[in-house]
Amino acid sequence: MTTKFNVPTRSEVNASNAEIFDNLNKNLGFVPNLYAAMAHSEHGLGRYLNFQGAKTSLSNKEKEAINLVVSQVNNCRYCQSAHTVLGKMNGFDDEEVVRLRRGESTDAKLNSLAKLTKDITENKGRVDEANLNAFYAQGYNHGHLVDTILQVSDKIAMNYLHNLTQIDIDFPLAKEL
C-alpha cells in the first residue's frame, strides 16, 4: 500500500521553506511541485537547492544534457518533462532533446558527455573505458568528471523522489520514447 504524497502549500510548510517558496515564486513564477514536495522535510528543500546551485565546471547546457540523460535512464517523467523545457531554454531543439534522452548528441563534445553519463547511470559508476577515454579526448578533465558525477547524483535524487511519490507533473509532458 502506498500513501499519496501531497504537494504542500506555503501555509503548510515551516518558515524557512515558506521563504524558499517566496523566492521560487519571485524567480520562476511558481513553485515546481517536486520542489514543494521536498518541503515535507524541514531542511530538504534548502539543502537540495544549495547543492543544485553550487558552482561547477559544467555549463548550463552540459548540466541539462546530463539531466536529460539521467532522467531518461531512470524513467522519471517529471524530470524528463521539466528538463525538456529547460533544455530548450538552453538552446536545444526538440530533436536534440530526444537524442540526449537517448544518450547521444550530434555535437562531438556533448556526445561524449551524454554517452559517459548514460554509462555512469546505468552501471552505477562502472563505465566502459572507451566512453571515459572519449570524454577526456573531447577536452574534459578529472574535475569535469567529478562535476559530472555530482550532476548525475543531483538528478538521481529528484528522479527517485518523483518515481516514489508520483507528484503531479506541472510542466508540459515530455513525449515518451
pLDDT tens digits along 74-95: 999 999 999 999 999 999 999 9
Confidence class for position 1, pLDDT limits 50, 70, 90: very low
Structural domain tally of the chain?
Answer: 2
Answer yes or no: is 16 within a domain.
yes
Answer yes or no: is 177 within a domain.
no
Confidence class for position 2, pLDDT limits 50, 70, 90: low
pLDDT at residue 9, rounded to an integer: 96
Contact 36, 46 (CB under 8 A): no
Same-domain status, 77 and 132: yes
Average pLDDT, the chain: 96
Mean pLDDT of 142-169: 97
70: Cα within 13 Å, side-chain hemisphere: 29
| Long-range interactions of 146-150: CB distance < 8 A, separation 24+ | 147/56, 147/57, 147/58, 148/58, 148/66, 148/113, 148/116, 148/117, 148/120, 149/120, 149/125, 150/56
Q: How far apart are CA 153 and CA 115, in angstroms?
A: 16
Answer yes or no: is 104 within a domain.
yes
Q: What percent of the chain has pLDDT over 90?
A: 97
Answer yes or no: is 71 within a domain.
yes
Same-domain status, 28 and 64: no
Q: What is the CATH number of the domain that holds 92?
A: 1.20.1290.10
Torsions phi, psi of 88, nearest 5? -65, -35
Mean pLDDT of 34-48: 97
> Higher model confidence: residue 2 or residue 49?
49
Tell me the pTM. 0.95
Same-domain status, 43 and 64: no
C-alpha cell at 10: 506555503
5-9, 17-21, 111-115: which has the minimum mean pLDDT? 5-9
Answer yes or no: is 4 within a domain.
no
Q: Which residue in the block uniquely carries the three cell numbers 499519496?
A: 4
pLDDT at residue 120, rounded to an integer: 98
Structure confidence by residue, pLDDT tens digits, 94-138: 999 999 999 999 999 999 999 999 999 999 999 999 999 999 999
CA dihedral (19, 20, 24, 30) positive or negative: negative
